[in-house]
A and B are shown apart, each in its own frame.
Chain A
Amino acid sequence: MPGTSTGPAQTWGRFSRYSSALLFFFTFCAVVVVGLFVIRDLRRADKDEQNMFTGSVLSLHRIAALEYQTQETRRSTLYALGTADSNLHVKYADQSREADHLVSEGIAAYLANARTRNELDIGSRLRRDWSTYLSVRDEVLASILEGSAKEAVDRDLTEGVASFDRVRQDLAEIELIYDQQAAQQLSNVDATSRRTILRVAGVLAITLVATIASVWTIQRMRMTGAIQLAKLQMEFVASVSHELRTPLAVISSAADNIADGLVREKDDLRKYGAAIQTQSRQMMELVDQILLFSATKDRAGHAAFRTLDVARIVDSVIHQTAGFVRASGFHIELEMEPALPSVRGDASGLARCLQNMIVNAVKYGGESRWIGVRAFLRHSHLRGRSEIQIAVRDRGIGIAKSELARVFEPFYRSPAVVGEQIHGTGLGLSLSKNIAEAMGGHLTVESELGSGSVFTLHLPIVGDPGSQAAAENGVRGTTEK
């Protein structure tokens, strides 16, 4: 049973137990983090688009409207040249003034919204140039209304065209600024979109890789488990065969000697008969243990539960194993609290459990040849109940910490123990654990390599509410299973 080495398969097994969950967790975290980035990018892109629309596209529309109104101002003025009717002159003058009023308002709005120094400079220049043009326009209009068309045309050509061109250049500069801003914002949107696509691709890639890794891990875990189970079963078959073969060999040899007439003396015959009896009982015991393991695995034994006197059962087991213990050169030191309360369970199961614990203590008890059995009442704060604890202690070879978690696995035998030719099936502790759990209790182990081990059977007492519920849960659990 004890051992110190842990093979790669065991390491992998332990890793694979948690690796899937960890992998899923890390995948989830990665997807959440990248997803948050993606959402942030999408929101930024949306904001950029809105900025582009409100900041640049609408501004370009406003500038286009401004350009139209400047043209309208000039156009209406020039229309007046085409008629001699003073009433029409007045009408065109009105149109021109309405348009110039809208332009002035547009320029004021642009200046109010200007954010950069450059925008402010251009806006101020536009206002100045527009004012200059309006002065010329007023003179041209006056000349037209006075009937001096030639004078109006001369003035328009000499001053009006130049000043209006300056206004147009100013507007073109503003348009260029908005174009540049729109292009910049468009490139921002493009960059954000590209980044978002990359991140989404990253999320998909991470998810794909993680899924593949998870599937691979799960498959590997299952395969490793199956291999380990097959290996354990093979070891079990070999061990059982070996355990059966030894007594069979003894029985066969004794029978041969008797049949061949080599044994004639009455004392010898009795000795041979006793040997055959002992070996056949060992075989029967082994077969019983295997059958019992199978039965407890199927949880078929709980129907016979009844109130048990623990002290009497402990005494009985020690009495039953006394011959074996004595023959092995061990002695048992028993310490039992007086008036221990009763527990509920299967008497034969409990006896089998204690027997296994004592036999194990003999098997792995080492050179100290000492076994301590102690039965006492304790309150378990962890489980919130009172329970009887039966501890079987030895001062033997102990169990490595890396092996502690596996000693209760069915068919498990430490490689070190197998190497030392200590016979066993690997079922004893597993069987004991199943029996304890079937009675609402549990089996624990504390051990130190080279110093010995202590196996403690915890059984809930009868009458304790917490213990009662635990016992019922144990029974119900076994029934349902």
Chain B
Amino acid sequence: MLRRAHVLFLFCAALLAGALLACSFGLAELSASEQAAAERNLAIVVNQSNPVNELTMAELRRVFLGERGHWPNGRRITLVMLEPGWPERAAVLTSIYHMDEAEFNNHFLHGLFTGEVFVSPKTLSTPEGVRKFIFNVPGAIGYLRASDVDKTVKVIHIDERLPGDKGYKLHVPPREGK
């Protein structure tokens, strides 16, 4: 009787240890997958003081094309772009502008000249610069990999979805070497 109890106890302990091991592996796997998802998702970020929390893809496109000059609180919209060559910029040109670099440049040259575009995009050399710019300028809007976002900026919903949500449309290829 006593021996059977011992065997039962050892079996339960082994079961519990296995479950814990599986959970820890699972969590690690989950964390790694979330990390990868954050790497692949492109977040649209604004200043923390900006009252806008959500945009549709169409509204976002208008903002990025410079066809809208001010936010609802009256703040002037400042568009922040990364320098050419960054995958984030390429993803934005593809997903939002539906343009290549030349068409993007022509659009703004032409629009500013004709007055159809109200915003001249600011070009920063690093995602960190983008983040700091948006932190300093209340009306700024830009884009960052979800993994580069911190509390100094605010991520807005696009078509009611945040980066990582199912159906989120803005993605960026993983960084090279990762």
Residues of A within 8 A of B (CB): 86-87, 89-90, 93-94, 138, 141-142, 145-148
Contacts and interface: CB of A to CB of B under 8 A. Distances in A.
A90 B142 CA distance: 14
3 tightest A-B CB contacts, nearest first: A86-B122, A90-B132, A145-B137
**Chain A facing B: main interface SS:** helix
* Number of chain B interface residues as a range: 10 to 19
10 contacts: A86-B122, A86-B124, A87-B124, A87-B125, A90-B129, A90-B132, A93-B132, A145-B133, A147-B122, A148-B76
B137 A146 contact: yes
A85 to B, nearest CB: 9
B94 interface: no
Contacts of B129: 86-87, 90
Interface in B69-101: 76, 78, 80
B120 interface: yes
Contacts of A90: 124, 129, 132-133, 136
B136 A142 contact: yes
A138 B138 CA distance: 9
A146 B137 CA distance: 7
Given A87-B129, A147-B122, 12 more contacts: A86-B129, A87-B125, A89-B133, A90-B129, A90-B132, A93-B136, A138-B136, A141-B137, A142-B137, A146-B78, A146-B122, A146-B139
**Chain B facing A: main interface SS:** mixed
Contacts of B126: 87
Contacts of A94: 132
A171 B76 CA distance: 36
A132 B17 CA distance: 60
A393 to B, nearest CB: 118
A148 B122 CA distance: 12
A428 to B, nearest CB: 118
Nearest to A151: B76
Contacts of A141: 136-137
Given A86-B123, A86-B124, A90-B124, A146 B76 contact: yes
Interface in B129-164: 129, 132-133, 136-140
A138 B80 CA distance: 18
A145 B120 CA distance: 12
